Amino acid sequence: MAHSPIQDYLEALHARFRDLKSGALADYIPDLSLADPEWFGICIATPDGYVYEVGDCRQPFTIQSVSKPLTYGMALERHGEARVLEKIGVEPSGDAFNAISLHPKNGTPLNPLINAGAIAACSLVTGDSMAQKTAAILETFSRYAGRPLDIDHTVYQSESATGHRNRAIGWMLRNFSVIEDDPTATLEAYFQQCSIRVTCRDLAIMSATLANGGINPVTGQRAIPEKFVANVLSVMATCGMYDASGDWMYNTGLPAKSGVGGGIMAVQPGRLGIAVFSPRLDQQGNSVRGLAVCHALTADLGLHMFDASQRTIPAIRRATTRRSVKSNQRRSQAANDYLLSVGKKLRLLQLHGALTFASIEPVIRLLTKETDTCDVFILNLKLVPRIDHAAASFLAGIRQKVSALGKLIVFSEAGACWQNLIDTGVEREAFFSDDDFALEHGENRILADHFPDPAERGQTPLANCDLFQGLGAQELALMDQLLGSRAYAKGQTIITAGQASNELYVLTAGAAMVSITTQEGIARLDAFSSGATFGEVAFLDRSPRSANVTALTPVSCRVLTRADFDKLDSIAPLVKISLLSNLAGRLTTMLRQNGRELASLK
Amino acid sequence: MAHSPIQDYLEALHARFRDLKSGALADYIPDLSLADPEWFGICIATPDGYVYEVGDCRQPFTIQSVSKPLTYGMALERHGEARVLEKIGVEPSGDAFNAISLHPKNGTPLNPLINAGAIAACSLVTGDSMAQKTAAILETFSRYAGRPLDIDHTVYQSESATGHRNRAIGWMLRNFSVIEDDPTATLEAYFQQCSIRVTCRDLAIMSATLANGGINPVTGQRAIPEKFVANVLSVMATCGMYDASGDWMYNTGLPAKSGVGGGIMAVQPGRLGIAVFSPRLDQQGNSVRGLAVCHALTADLGLHMFDASQRTIPAIRRATTRRSVKSNQRRSQAANDYLLSVGKKLRLLQLHGALTFASIEPVIRLLTKETDTCDVFILNLKLVPRIDHAAASFLAGIRQKVSALGKLIVFSEAGACWQNLIDTGVEREAFFSDDDFALEHGENRILADHFPDPAERGQTPLANCDLFQGLGAQELALMDQLLGSRAYAKGQTIITAGQASNELYVLTAGAAMVSITTQEGIARLDAFSSGATFGEVAFLDRSPRSANVTALTPVSCRVLTRADFDKLDSIAPLVKISLLSNLAGRLTTMLRQNGRELASLK
C-alpha cells in the first residue's frame, strides 16, 4: 500500500500551522482556560465515510457554539420551517457572538447562530425539562457523530455558574414571548448542549453528515431530515462566523460554524466534511489555527463553493441508436435488415449522476427535439443514484407529450428512480428490468407496422434451419438420420452452464433463451425461435458451456454430437464444409454486432 | 418536435404571477416611472448556451444595481483581490441600498453592492475620464451579454440630475481617500453604468456567464477571469439583496443581484443563469414578481445551492482489469494465458467529470490501496473536461509514490488534463494517445519478467502458421502450391477499407496492424506478427473490407483467393475442413474476448 498523498498534504498543512501561536484560550468560562493551547487536529471525512486525521483528532473538548446549527435543525424538524421562522430570523446581525441582537420590532433573535437565536432554538427542542431536552440533544448529536456523546459536567457547571448574560437573554426572549414559558429549563439545557464533549473527528463526521444530505456516512443513520439540511447550511453560510461571516464566505466559500472550545466545522455540501481543532481564539472567538487551516485548505484544494470547477456534469453518459445496440432477441434477416436501416428510430440514452433540473434539462431538450426522427427512446437509469421531484416531473411531462405524438419513452434499470417516477404519474408499463427487454419492446413496436407478428412457426423442416442452408435433399436426409431428437417442456433447462460441450443444437419447434445468472439476477444473452442454431460457440472451441439455455415454450430440438460431426469428415466432407461455413457466417454476424456495440460503448 | 415541458413550466410560472400587481415603480428617477408596470419576463440560460424565454424578455430596461457585481469584477481584474479589499469590504451591511454604510474606522464601504461600494468599484475601473470608464464598462458588459449594449441617455440625464446623495457618497469616499482624486468622473461613469440598457434575456446570459466560470456560453467569449468569479458570486450571496440577503439565501440559496429597473439576475453556479424582469418594486427596491418567481423557481426546481441533490459524482466511471480488457496487440497463447491469469495486476480506470479534490479523493484512495495487488494503472481521461490544480497535484503525488514501489500509473486520452498534469511534474512518457497503446505498454511491462522479448521471429513456415494447424506435410505442400506470395514495404497498405474481400491472408514475416480512421484519428483494431491470419472476417461473410491493414515492418504474406478456397471443396475437402475449423476457433476466441469486454463496459 502506498502512502496517501492526501494524508501527506494534511500532515504538511498541520506542520505549516503548528507554530502559529497567536490568540488566547477562552477564559470566560474558567474550565476552558485549562485546555492545552498546543492541541491541534485536522480531520476530513468523505461522503462515503472515509476519514483522514492528523494531530489531536481524538482529544475531547466541548462543542460550544458548533452545536447551534444542529439544535436549529432539531427545532426545524419538530416545528417546521414556518413556525421556526416566526421565532428566529435568518439575517446576519453584524454584531459580536454574545450581542443580544433582537429584532427591533418584535424581539425575535436575528438568526439562530447568535446566542439569543440558539437559546430560542433550544427552547423549541422536544422536552419540557432540562433532562428531556438534553437527552434529545445528546441523542441527535450522537447520530451526527456516529457514537454516543456525553457531557463534560465540569464545564457545564462552569457555564451555568457564569451564564448571567445568557440568562438575561433568556428572560428577554420570554419578555417578547419568543420563549413561551419559564426559560430556566431551556437555559440549563442550552448550557448542557454547549458542554457536550466531541473530538475533531466527531466534528468532521458531523460535517460530512450535513454534506451527505443528513445521513451519517459512517453509520448510515439519519441525523436530520434531508429537507432541512439546506436551511441549516444557509444560516451557517450567512451567519456562521459571527461578524466575520462575509469575509469567511468570500475567502473559504463554505458554510461553517466555530465554537469557543476551539473547534470549527466546515461543510463542502455534497462533497466533504472538514473539522479543525485548536483552542487559541482570535478576538471574534474563532480558532486562530482553525481559520488559517480552513483558508489554506480552500485555496489549496479549490473547495470554494462558487469555484467554477464545481460545475455540473451533463446527465447523458452515452447516446446510441438501434444501429449499434440491439436486443438479444434473434430476428429474421429481413427484420434485422429493416431495424438496421431505420436504426435512428430507436435511441438508447444512458443517464448518470443525480438527476436535478440542471442535469435533466439537456435530456428534456434532446427528447423534445429528437421526436422528429425517433419513435422509441429508452432511458437507462442504472447509474442514477437519485432523481429529485423536479427532474422526475419533467421526465413524466415529456413522456406524455411524446406519447401524444405516437412515440414512446421507456425506462430500464430505474432502481433508485422508480418510486419518484411512479409518483409523478409514469405508468408501470414504462419500466423494464434491463436494456435487453426494453430494446426488444422498442424493436417490436418499430417492426409492428412492417412485420406483423408472424404466426407461431410451428415445426421448422431441416431445410429451413439456419445450419443446413445450402444442403441438397440427399444431404438433408443424411443429417436427418444422424441427428438425435429431444423435446423439452416450457421452462425446462436444455443446456446447463459448466457442462461439457459435445453437442450442437438446432431448434425445430418453439422458442428458447440463453441466460446467465449475475449478481443482479438473470441476464438474457440470446433469445430465438425455431430454425435457429444454438450452443455453437462452446461446441466449436470445445470449452465448457458458459450459459444456460431454457425452453420458453414447449421445444423440439435436433442434436448433432461431436462424434457425428467429426464422422462427417469421412462420410460427407462437403456437408461438413457447409455446416462450418454456415457456423462461421453466424460467428461473423455476432462479431460485427459486438463490434458496433463496443464502438458505441467506448 | 414535441413541445418542451420546461417551456410549459415557465409559461405556467409566468401565468401564475402575472396577476401579482403589488409594489410600485421606482420613482426616485422620473424616467423609471415611465416603465410599463405590466412588463414581465422570465428567462433561463444554460451553461451550454440554450435560452428559455417567456414574456417580455426582449424589452430593454436599465440595468441599475445589477451592474454592481460586474464592475466589482472589473475592479478585481484590474487591481487584484488584495488591493480591492483594502478599498471595499465584503461584509453584509444590514442597511438599505442607499445607506452610506462606511466602515466606522477607515471609511471603506462595507461591501461592493451598496452604492458606496459600487461607486468605489467604479473608481477602480480602467480610465481617467467618464468616457474612458464608460467605454470599458460597456465593452465588458457587452461581453457578458454577448451583444453590443448601449446607454439610455434619458435615464442617464435623470440619474445625473438627481444623484445628489451619490455625489455626497462620492465626496465622502474622497474624504477617506478610498477615491484618490476628484470623484466627478467616477460618479458620472457610475450614472452611465446604471443606465446601460439590457433585456431580461441579456441578464440571463450574463448570469449564465458567471455560472459558466466567466465565459459567455453563447459566444464563447470570456467576460471575467475565472479566478474572480467566486469573489463576485460570494458578495452576491452575502450582500446581493440588500437587507434581505440572509432571507434570500435561506429561501433561494442562489447568489443574486436586483436592480431598481426591475431586473433580478440569479446564478446557480456551474449550472444555470436565471433572470426575471418586472418593474414593480417592494420597499427594499427588489422586483416583487422577480422575488416571487425566484422563490417559486428554486422550490419547484430544487435549485438551492445547499440542496443535497447537488451532491458530487465519484470520478470513477468504470474500473476494469486485464481480465476483461486487452490491447489490440495479438500475443501468443502462452502470453495471453499468463496475462489473463494475472489480470488483476493491470487496472484500467475510466474517470469522468471535472476532477476536483472531492472527486479525485476516492481515486487517490483506490490507487493508494491497490498497489498491493496491482502493478500497472491506466487512467483514461477522455471524459474529464478539466482538472484543477489540486486534483492534478494529488495525481502527480500518488504517481511518484507508486513509482517508488516499482509500479506504474499512466494516462490515456489526457486531452484537456494534459497541460495541468505536465505542470505538476508528470513526465511525458506517462501519456498515451489511447487505451490500446497504454494497455500494450502495461502488458509488455507485466510480461517482461516472464516472456522476455522474443527475437524477431523471421520467416514463419506454413506449418507454424495459425491457419494451417493440423495439416500434414502433403496438405501443406498443396497449400504452398495454391497460395500466392506478396511482399510489402514498411508503412505500405496491404488491405484498404471498402474493397471487396476475395482473399484470405497469412503473415509469414514481419508485423502489421489493422486500423480504421475515426474522427479522433487512427484507431488500431488489431496488431500481429508472423504466423497470424488476417482479413478473415470479411472473407468469410463476403462483405467489403471494414478496415485498413498496414505493414509495420517489411512484410511477407501468403494469399489464398476465394476461387482456390472454393476449389478446396473438390480437391481437398479435409484441408478445407481444417481451415474452416481453425478460422472458427479464431472467431470464437474473438467473440469471447468481446463478450468479456462488453460485460465490463455495461
Nearest CB among B1, B255, B540 relative to A368 is that of B1
For B390-443, what is each residue's pLDDT tens digit? 899 999 999 998 998 889 999 999 988 999 999 999 999 999 988 999 999 999
Active site residue A242: yes
What pLDDT is stored for residue A200 in this prediction? Answer: 98
Between positions 99 and 138 of A, the ones with CB within 8 A of B are: 111
A278 is catalytic: no
Check residue A358 and give its pLDDT: 83
Name the phi and psi angles at B600, rounded to 5: -75, -25
Percent of chain B with pLDDT over 90: 66
Residues paired with residue A43 on neighbouring β-strands, in sequence order: A53, A275
Inter-chain residue contact A580 with B585, CB threshold 8 Å: no
The pLDDT value recorded for residue A442 is: 93
In the DSSP assignment, the letter for residue B464 is G
Please, which contacts does B458-463 make with residues 24 or more away whose CB atoms are closer than 8 Å?
B458/B509, B458/B530, B459/B508, B459/B509, B459/B530, B459/B556, B460/B507, B460/B508, B460/B509, B460/B530, B460/B531, B461/B508, B462/B506, B462/B508, B462/B558
Comparing A387-401, B39-53, B441-455, which segment has the lowest mean pLDDT?
Answer: B441-455
Kindly state whether A405 is in contact with chain B, defined as any CB-CB distance less than 8 angstroms.
yes
pLDDT given for residue A106 in this prediction: 80
Hey, are the CB atoms on B308 and A253 less than 8 Å from each other?
Answer: no
Based on the residue annotation, tell me whether A260 is a catalytic residue of this protein: yes
Judge: A212–B311 Cβ closer than 8 Å, yes or no: yes
Does B89 contact A at CB distance below 8 Å? yes
Asked whether residue B455 carries a pLDDT value surpassing 50, the answer given is no
Above 60 in pLDDT, residue B64? yes
Among A4, A91, A401, select the one facing B368 at the smallest CB separation.
A4
Taking the model in full, what pTM does it have?
A: 0.82
Closest CA to A93 of A255, A238, A265: A238
Nearest CA in chain A to B518: A599
Residue A62 or B269, more confident? A62
Of A304, A306, A364, the CB nearest to B4: A364
* Cβ neighbours of A377 in B, within 8 Å: none
CB A60 within 8 A of CB A198: yes
Catalytic, out of B52, B190, B488, B505: B190
| Tally of CA atoms within 13 A in the half-sphere of B410 that contains its CB | 26
Residue A505 is a catalytic residue: no
* pLDDT recorded at residue B98: 62
Q: Which residues of chain A have pLDDT under 70?
A: 94-101, 243, 308-313, 452-458, 602
How much is the pLDDT for A130?
95
3-state SS record for B92-141? CCCCCCCCCCECCCCCCECCCCCHHHHHHHHHHCCCCCHHHHHHHHHHHH
Span B542-564, pLDDT tens digits = 999 999 999 999 999 999 999 99
Q: pLDDT per residue over A426-458, tens digit each?
A: 999 999 988 999 999 999 999 887 776 554 556
Chain A residue closest in CA terms to B390: A301
pLDDT at B157 over 70: yes
Distances (CA, A) of A455 to A451, A452, A458, A512, A529: 11, 9, 8, 17, 12
What pLDDT is recorded for position A303? Answer: 86
Candidates B239, B241, B245, B312: best to mutate against A (most CBs of A within 10 A) is: B312
- Per DSSP bridges, beta strands A376-383 and A346-352 are parallel
Interface membership of B581 toward A (CB under 8 Å) = yes
Chain A residues close to B540, C-beta within 8 Å: 581, 584-585, 588
Cβ of residue A82 closer than 8 Å to a chain B Cβ: no
Using a CB–CB cutoff of 8 Å, tell me whether A535 touches chain B.
no
Q: Note whether B365 contacts A239, CB cutoff 8 Å.
A: no
Give the single-character DSSP code of B466.
Answer: G
Contact yes or no for A598 and B595 at CB 8 A: no
Pairwise CA distance, residues B600 & A350, whole Å:
15
Let me know: does A298 contact A253? Beta carbons within 8 Å: yes
Choose the closest CB to A272 out of B358, B368, B597: B358
Q: Which three cell numbers stand for residue A449?
A: 407496422
Q: Which residue has the higher pLDDT, B122 or A405?
A: B122
Contacts of B295 in chain A (CB under 8 A): none
Residue of B269, B401, B587 with shortest CB distance to A3: B401
The most confident of B24-28, B67-71, B103-107, by mean pLDDT: B67-71
Substitution target in A236, A357, A565 with the highest count of B β-carbons within 10 Å is A357
Is A190 considered catalytic here? yes
**Of the candidates A85, A90, A111, the residue with the CA atom closest to the CA atom of residue A99:** A111
Cβ–Cβ of B306/A230 closer than 8 Å?
yes
- Give the pLDDT score at A455: 43
Of A91, A246, A308, the CB nearest to B270: A308
Q: Does A316 touch chain B (CB under 8 A)?
A: no
Select the residue from B85, B231, B295, B309 to test the A interface by mutation, using most A Cβ atoms within 10 A. B309
Kindly report, residue by residue over B210-242, the tens digit of the pLDDT: 999 999 999 999 999 999 999 999 999 988 877
